[in-house]
Every structure is written in C-alpha cells, then in structure tokens.
C-alpha cells in the first residue's frame, strides 16, 4: 500500500483551505501555495501541491463534464418516465458492487482491517441508499401509470358519452397511456 502523501496528512480544515486556494488560483501558483502551507507548519513542497492539484482539477473537470452531459441529455431528450434515474441507479449499484468485491480482495493485501471494515460498511450503506431510491423510483412509476390509466378511463367514458366512435376513444386512450409507458 502506498505511503500517504504530505497533502493527505493535512488537517481537514487546512485541506479544504488548500482546495479553495487551488481553485481560486486556477490551479496555478503552486510555489506560493506551498509557502503558505509551510507558514502553517507543514513540510510540503510545490511538487506535492502540484500532484494534488492535478488530481483535484481532474476530479472537478470530470464532475463538471458529467453535469454538463446530464444537462444536455435532459434538454435533448426529456425523460418523463424517469428512465435516466433508473439507469443511474443501476450504474451506481454496479460500481458499488465492484468496489465491494475489490475491498474483499484487498483483505489479503495488508489493508488495515479497521479501515477495510469501515469502507465495506460505507459501501453497504451506499447500496442500501440506492436500493431505497430504486424502490421509490419504481413506486413513482407505478403511481404515474395508475394515474394515467384512471385518466384514460375517464376520458374514454367522456368520449363515448360525447358520441365519438370506439376507434377514436381507443386512440385517445392509447395516447394517454403512451405517456405512462414511454
């Protein structure tokens, strides 16, 4: 297992301050940031700050790209049936499952058992949250379908009373129910 970097040993509040400095400086000025950290009593060089800054910048860029992609998809293809949520939940379940398997395999590689147990527990909580979200999403879909079915029945009754043909009533019903199934 790799030795923790000097940045990993920062106090939580100092690490948040480092993150803010890096973002405020546009991920530049590593020497100045290293000097600020040294004035706080840390022995961290500009190379360590640079390595950490690159990783942070990549993470932020990935989050920003994902967010922009999600917004573009939402604009281009509205998802009234919430299938994207279902897909995201499935993807997250897969990722958590893979992580859990990797943690189990890491047990033989000298990982601190307490840390390993904490990570496995965290994965378990994540899986439970996803399962709960999945159940909620499925309940929502069933509710939408039920309301659409009731609306279709009401419209069909009104259409028949209004003297429209059975074919027109069936077409209107199919249009309403199509909303709930797409």
Tens digits of per-residue pLDDT, 4-56?
Answer: 788 888 898 999 899 999 999 999 999 999 999 999 999 999 999 999 999 88
pLDDT at 29: 92
Domain residues of the chain, as ranges? 7-76
Mean pLDDT score, 135-139:
81
Q: Is the pTM of this model over 0.75?
A: no
Mean pLDDT score, 63-81:
66
pLDDT at 41: 93
Does 153 score more than 70 pLDDT? yes
pLDDT at 143: 85
What does the CA dihedral 105, 108, 111, 114 come to, rounded to 10 degrees? 90
pLDDT at 80: 54
Nearest one of 55, 56, 19 to 37, comparing CA atoms: 19
pLDDT at 151: 78
Mean pLDDT score, 105-131:
73
Buried b (16+ CB within 10 A) or exposed e, 8-22: eebeeebeebbeebb
Residues 6 or more apart whose Cβ sits within 8 Å of residue 59: none
pLDDT band at 84 (very low <50, low <70, confident <90, very high): low
What percent of the chain has pLDDT above 70?
A: 75
pLDDT at 58: 87
Mean pLDDT score, 70-90:
64
pLDDT at 111: 67
pLDDT band at 107 (very low <50, low <70, confident <90, very high): low
Residue with tokens 């390993």: 116
Mean pLDDT score, 124-148:
80
Does 81 score more than 60 pLDDT? no
């Amino acid at each position: 297992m790799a030795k923790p970097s000097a940045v990993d040993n920062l106090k939580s509040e100092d690490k948040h301050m480092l993150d803010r400095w890096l973002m405020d400086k546009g991920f530049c000025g590593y020497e100045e940031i290293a000097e600020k950290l040294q004035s706080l009593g840390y022995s961290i060089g500009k190379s360590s700050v640079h390595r950490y800054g690159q990783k942070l910048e990549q993470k932020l860029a990935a989050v920003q790209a994902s967010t922009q992609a999600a917004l573009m998809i939402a604009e281009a293809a509205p998802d009234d049936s919430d299938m994207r949520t279902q897909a995201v939940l499935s993807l997250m379940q897969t990722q958590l499952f893979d992580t859990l398997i990797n943690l189990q395999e890491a047990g033989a590689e000298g990982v601190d058992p307490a840390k390993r147990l904490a990570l496995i527990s965290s994965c378990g909580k994540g899986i439970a949250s996803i399962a709960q979200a999945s159940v909620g999403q499925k309940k929502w879909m069933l509710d939408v379908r039920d309301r659409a079915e009731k609306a279709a029945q009401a419209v069909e009754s009104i259409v028949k009373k209004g003297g429209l043909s059975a074919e027109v009533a069936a077409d209107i019903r199919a249009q309403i129910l199509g909303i709930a199934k797409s």
